[in-house]
Structure 1
Amino acid sequence: MDLSAINPILLLASLMVAATPIMLAAIGELVVERAGVLNLGVEGMMITGAACGMIFAYNTGNAWLGFAGAAAGGMALSFLFAILTQYFLSNQVATGLALTLFGLGLSALLGQNYAEARPPAFPKMDIPILSDIPVLGPIAFNHDPMVYVGLILVAGVWAFLKFSRAGLVLRAVGENHEAAHALGYHVIRIRILAILFGGACAGLGGAYISLVRVPQWTEGMTAGAGWIALAIVVFAGWKPVRLLLGAYLFGGVTVLQLNLQAAGLAIPVEYLSMSPYIATILVLVILSAGRAPGSLGKTFHASR
């Protein structure tokens, strides 16, 4: 094994890229669950976003329009979930699982003609002065714009939940929807908006994989990223900052195992490939101390 082949600066820089799709999907699901809704369809929305992102980017020649199309695709799928669970009062767990299966099939259908397609390049963004800082510059300030969009979203959600009145109302709905309804808040409307935001974020996460990280369309290319995003939300205690750490942990172990494979580590590839999932779950289980929102997964009906 030749560890000298592993460049620590490139390793840390790649960590941020590997963490971005998980971070985007997880921060959207965090908002959904803080509103009291459990959507297990993140994987389906991510893979649909990956397919829609490729389709829009390839046909328009614009990667930004690809991300916009991916967000729209994720929102469309999440709107279906919202209608079924909030108006028809279907079981959230069963509906979320069905949404994942539907998303996997839909994305395979949509992307079948794009297996050989290559999306337009999504250039890196050199931040003046900061990108020239030795060591830190290449690690943190020389990435594509979506890396920073993900970080801004995490910071924005943290500030929204902690400081804004709308964030307080959303948290109240998630904690006790009956009490929130009694105070005059429109529980269903708030939850639908949260679900749509979660769908858009999941779509962006999927598009990041197909437009930036790979970049190409392959059936099933999210490879369980949506399930990891769900796990990170739960084990991070529904807190945005700990969610960010969980996403970076998963990204870091993912990149490390790829580098160890390239260095010729004498461990079966299968064990290295499963290591990011095992490490993320184990560490977050140890660190988890948050309490789930009181109304998470519970059906609300205004007439009760």
Structure 2
Amino acid sequence: MISEILAVAAALCAALSSMFISELKGRVPLLQLARWQMTAAFVMTGLISLSIGGWRSVGLWQFGFLAASSFFGIAIASTTYFAAIYSVGPRITALLFSLTSPFALTMGYIALGETITFQQALGVAFVLCGIVLAIGTPRRFITRGSSAPAMPVITPSSIPVTVAPKPPLKGPLFPGVVLGVVTAFGQALGTLFARPAMASGVEPFTAMAVRSGLAALFFLAILALPIGRAGRAAFQPGALGLAIGSAFFGMVLGMSLLMAALHEGEAGIVATLSSITPVLILPMVWIRSREPPSRRAWFGAGLAVLGTALISI
């Protein structure tokens, strides 16, 4: 059971990383958070790679694929990931991140000619149903004040009363959902570009160091633009500590546990167990907000994990 325990621990690290990021809402702007986290991830994974000699496993063509993976999977996906957590919280963001498996499966079919079995197609349906079920249409998803004309209603006392029509389904939740979907798509695209390099034998920590290092350079270069300098917050040691902590749990410790799990166990089982973050994050949100998640949230998260299992195994 060692590989299974390691895979669950990796999912737990991903959940902790998301919770740390959610604590930075309103304290650290998105681009500043991205600079801090990518720089911290590069330093930590780079030191590990140097200690084990992993840099010798990267050639020029592997570097090119990892650079493309960094742009889509980290530079873009990480930014939208942070923005989604800021917008709709870690629970819904983790749930939307489950779309990475269906997106990766579809891209593998289109770009690499991989086959999709009935079981995998059923898994995609389960993931989609789980996300829709868990998110639903909460009240804050609905925006009041539609511009449509009011409709007269006749009461039993024959007194005309003006009632506003049912509002459209749009509002604060919609941008966060879009950001979460873009995150999953970018992550799947980054995985697609990284796959040839990893298959050729690139050491995992070295690959992560290359990807996070290039992303850190990208976010540092944005400082030359007005958008990169706008909204910068004053330095807060506690906020920096949370950013480094999220990088450590999400990209260093979590990745170490995942690599160890893959070394000891079957890839499909490890991929499934490491994707249970949407379930593990529910009690964390419960403890932090002191509000228990609904039964629909638990069932939807479990359904998304079951769909990922059907895709992976």
Q: TM-score, normalised by structure 2?
A: 0.31
RCO comparison, higher one (Cα < 8 Å, 6+): 2
User: Is the helix fraction higher in 1 or 2?
Assistant: 2
**Which structure would you say has the larger Rg?**
2
Q: TM-score, normalised by structure 1?
A: 0.32
